[in-house]
Structure 1
């Protein structure tokens, strides 16, 4: 929404009274590019979970949980905060703004910042290798960048507004979420004003066995998000259909498993199916793009005319540098893990699982427009499920507790941001090569500023008085989990392995059917999303968006669909505009307004 306010309330007056100072379309796009890579750093993308992870291992250690024996002596002091006063003040607060024990925090923060920068660089190189295949060859839809592209579009010469803001269908779409969130925001501040309900817990209608499983996590409920309806209506019908269909498909599995009395927990089975599906889908991605990836290899390793046949002049980095950059970055991360104490083979498998997951989730976001994604497993579970935790040494297991801080809630990870940036810059007069230094500078500044402001807030308020899930439950539960695994080693979980095999087989079947039968409406994106947190929030709104688009195409054709697209952009923009407005108001009223999934 920052781009919206900048374009409408800053740039328009500048065009009117000081046109030489107004931002050009390319400059607005570059500002958005800088924003999109930095917004996740103070939250789930980096520091939100990392900071409490560095402190929780000491603060929540008790004689009862025995962390001092199972975890503490395995973890290097340079990775965490172990000073008692700094740990206590982090969680209990000091009621003094600006008090941060920098002498204690500086070393671990610098180490983790270097780790993050190497990881971001490795991710960037991988994104560059995928860029041409996904943007130019397969022509992914990138629905989430449609609004910034429209907002930043140049206006006709001599006019203040571009054609996007003059379209009446845009304002028609914006009117619905503006009305709803205006009423509900007023209700949050003045309870006497009636609320327009958006959430319906339909699972509460079912009590008898096996229908009561509809209330098991993730429960079946109806939630209205206008922005999700808008995004879903801009997707292809097969993608939007699959997103809601497979959520109900997994819930049907819950019912069947409960009816026949399978011992495995239904959610565990469904999440393991997704794990197996990832292992099939990523090779399929590279197989589909094999021509492009062979070009990358040819450009990197061939000599003479063979290299000249492959054009990478429009890439942010030449393929040779991008491929070697990825390999060097990946190796550096593994070496970092080895120095910390994780076995090399464990680091290799875990990091490979992380990048496999990154590719799949990025594919979901850039092609499916998902506002929220999640992998329903930890990367290390590929080892602990198939071979058991007994094959991993205790030191490695203890250090794997830090993966909770990076690789569980994937809502703001960096790879799709890089791909979105490449998409908005394609066809733009701003060179893609120039953007790399801007991205690096933006990320570095964001880490420094976010670390200071986050620690200032936490030490001033006390982490125990902030969001409980982030600062208490998440780090505490996962370190306890790793402590239990160290004390009670496990062996192969065969029921979960069978679920992984089933998921891999079903994903392979979906890919085969889609290749041989054009009419098939089932897309793997829905199956790989699984029965997770995102579809729990989004499935019904996606269903509404799919139904609206289906009806418009059936009765109005392409002309109606073009108008629908603008209405959908209005739905998205209107909802985000109102949520942003109430957030700003909440800074002064101290009253929260929650309207979007998080």
Structure 2
């Protein structure tokens, strides 16, 4: 038995956990400051260590970059491969994936100042709202204002301590909840269902090559070819950031939104048509889509076609008449004219209802497993039966449920202690938890998430805030809660909450692929989570104080500290008008998802229920990912028809992994150039 094989059967050592903690801290500090010095143009797709393919995938580069940096050394040295071992490679992936979610532009550079700087003179302007922000949540106005320009020679750590600890508890308690939920659902999702988690599958191809062996040799040629293609397709995107003369191969400089979607220009023949749709040009969108099941790909582009048709029908019936004279982005997100937002279609709400249906169906279908874990934890079960059920689990189910309860109580208590009423604090924790279970399920199946869905936000809107803008003096539950409902709960996994669940499930998926025991993975991901969530905060304070937000990300970045603004966004209000006018669309979406799930399970050719969730969300029309799903469906069909599943697994998948590896390395190199240029302008 080789050393690497033996290591899989051993408990992770204290020494290893110490280097996991050190590596997590170092990577968090480097990545957080790295994002401070990146050029603005790199924020969506070319951050190197952070996001390398943004909405709706939020793919991070750090795990791919670290594995690809190890690849040439492992290729040359068998001693190096043996020294690393598959267990350490797994831990490196887990640490890198986890850290990247808490050391990027959104977290902590945006999300921490949302709260900590919200009392500044450059932030919230309404005195009624500002008066509701506790002093332990936000620093005094003069300290907040100093972060705009920087140049602070002595950082007042005593002033920053309370807001930093408050925010750390806000994020880390949800991290504990997420890891506990993952422990409870791990066996069902990872071991039994084999939910794929496409981002992890792609990283696994790089890990295979670093690990070496017969399997790596069999996949090496398509992997290397993929690296070459990844380098070729990514160089034009990186070069145009610094070289004005470089050919704009992707037409990225014109009519392209940040995540890489081609807009409809006024000189296009499509402009005069009632079309509210973009087209993705990002190469990684096609790589991710190629990893997905055919039925998901087919259903998504089919319901995109249905979307186009019903918008045409609505237009010629007298609705959405402003579409042909409105700019490309406005057709999608301007609430008064968009078929996604405005009546009668309100398709975004049907998509959000679909996510609610996905949550409810997931919990319903998992009911036996969940009840079994509760029985093992708190009920009567024989020791032998309990031992058999918990054999491969990271913790006993009792420990996981207690962990979940503690995390829930801590976060709920923090909200109530901050000024939330008891009911709204409870709703915030419960609904956000189940929402991220649904979003993580979607991420595991498709590699993407849906922002601004309103899937659970409509509940708090209907119960507590039926009239918006809020009349009179706002409660703290609204002043601070509107940010949490909008960002942490409803926007990006990188806003502080969702990534905890994404990283936990992704860690266990990589552990299953590499054979590393879940107990060891649990210890590593727990340390990486807590270290990254904490270290990022003093790091961002240093960056803000010394350099200033206006120098790092542009003065406009502090607009989000206007908490009153958050309460006016679609992320919070869900839709314009009284809830009674649009709740029906959400209910229709939930019922449709349940019905489609039932039919699809019995009629295999019936469209996959995730299709309308993706196609009718804001994200897919806006960022154009429907096109990548269509192209990937064609390519995957050809692969399977010509070479069968063997060709897909032995050529297609390693090629896709190589493309991503090559893209990640080039992305990292150009991001590094951007960081250097901050200090040495050229």
Q: Equivalent of 2:479, from 380, 388, 398? A: 398
Task: State the match for 1:414 in structure 2.
Answer: 500
Kindly indicate whether residue 68 of structure 2 is the aligned counterpart of residue 68 of structure 1: no
Task: Name the CA distance, whole Å, in 1 between partners of 2:167 and 2:189.
Answer: 31
Aligned partner of 1:109 in structure 2 is 164
- CA distance in 2 between counterparts of 1:74 and 1:155 reads 53
Write the distance in 2 (CA, Å) between the matches of 1:526 and 1:570: 31
Residue 35 of structure 1: aligned partner: 96
Give the structure 1 partner of residue 373 of structure 2. Answer: 296
Q: Is structure 2 residue 260 aligned with structure 1 residue 201?
A: no
Residue of structure 1 in register with 2:42 after alignment? none
1:479 aligns with 2:542: no
Deviation at 1:30, TM superposition (A): 0.8
Q: Which one of the candidate residues 617, 624, 642 is aligned to 1:531?
A: 617
* Secondary structure, aligned partner of 1:191: coil
Q: Which has the higher helix share?
A: 1
Structure-2 change in CA distance of 1:91 and 1:547 (3 Å): same
Partner of 1:226: 283
| 381 and 467 in structure 1: CA distance in 2 versus 1, 3 angstrom threshold | farther
Alignment-derived partner of residue 383 in structure 1 = 460
Matches within 5 A, 1:141-180: 141-153=196-208, 163=216, 167-180=220-233
Structure 2 CA distance, aligned partners of 1:491 and 1:523? 29
Choose from 210, 215, 236 the match for 2:293: 236
Answer yes or no: is 1:576 the counterpart of 2:653. Answer: no
Q: Is the 8 A contact 1:264 1:495 kept in 2?
A: no
Q: Tell whether 2:653 aligns with 1:565.
A: yes
Q: Deviations over 1:19-65 (max 9, x none)?
A: 77x31111111111111111111236642332221244323578xx8
What is the aligned length? 571
SS across alignment from 2:433: helix
Instruction: From 141, 149, 164, give the equivalent of 1:84.
Output: 141
Relative distance call for 1:315 and 1:559 in structure 2 (3 A) is closer
C-alpha contact (below 8 Å) 1:155/1:162 kept by paired residues: no
Check whether the contact 2:206–2:657 (CA below 8 A) recurs between aligned residues.
no
Is it true that 1:346 corresponds to 2:424 in the alignment? yes
Q: Check the 8 A contact 1:243/1:535 in 2, yes or no.
A: no
CA distance, structure 1, for counterparts of residue 248 and residue 337 of structure 2: 41
Q: Quote the residue 1:316 is aligned against.
A: 394
Q: Which sits farther off after the overlay, 549-558 or 241-250? A: 241-250
Q: Distance in 1 between matches of 2:65 and 2:219?
A: 20
C-alpha separation between the residues in 2 aligned to 1:46 and 1:495?
A: 35
Cα deviation for residue 66 of structure 1 reads 5.7
Per-residue CA shift, 1:158-197, capped at 9, x if unaligned?
Answer: x7x9725862222222322312322443344333332312
Q: 334, 339, 356: which one pairs with 1:279?
A: 356
What residue number does 1:544 align with?
Answer: 631
Unaligned runs of 5+ in 2: 1-63, 253-261, 321-335
Q: 1:484: Cα distance to partner? A: 11
**Equivalent residue number for residue 374 of structure 1:** 451
Distance 1:549 1:68, change over 3 A: same
TM normalised by structure 2 equals 0.75
Report the 3-state secondary structure (helix = DSSP H, G, I; strand = E; otherwise coil) of the residue aligned with 1:23.
Answer: helix
Asked if structure 2 preserves the Cα contact closer than 8 Å seen for 1:173 and 1:569, the reply is yes
Task: State the alpha-carbon separation in 2 of the partners of residues 586 and 154 from structure 1.
Answer: 29
Q: Which region of structure 1 is more displaced relative to structure 2, 23-32 or 147-156?
A: 147-156
- Give per-residue Cα distances to partners, 1:64-107, cap 9 Å, x unaligned: x86212x12222211111x232111112222x5x6432121111
Show the counterpart of 2:643.
556
Distance 1:188 1:283, change over 3 A: closer
Distance in 2 of aligned mates of 1:350 and 1:274: 21
Give the TM-score, by structure 1 length. 0.85
**2:395 is the alignment partner of 1:336:** no
Alignment of 1:464-503 (within 5 A): 464-467=550-553, 471-476=557-562, 478-482=563-567, 492-503=578-589
CA contact (8 A) 2:102 2:536 kept: yes
Aligned equivalents of 1:450, 1:206: Cα separation in 2: 48
203 and 299 in structure 1: CA distance in 2 versus 1, 3 angstrom threshold: farther
CA distance in structure 1 between the aligned counterparts of 2:370 and 2:513, rounded to whole angstroms: 22
Corresponding residue number in structure 2 for 1:595? none
Q: Distance in 2 between matches of 1:60 and 1:164?
A: 61
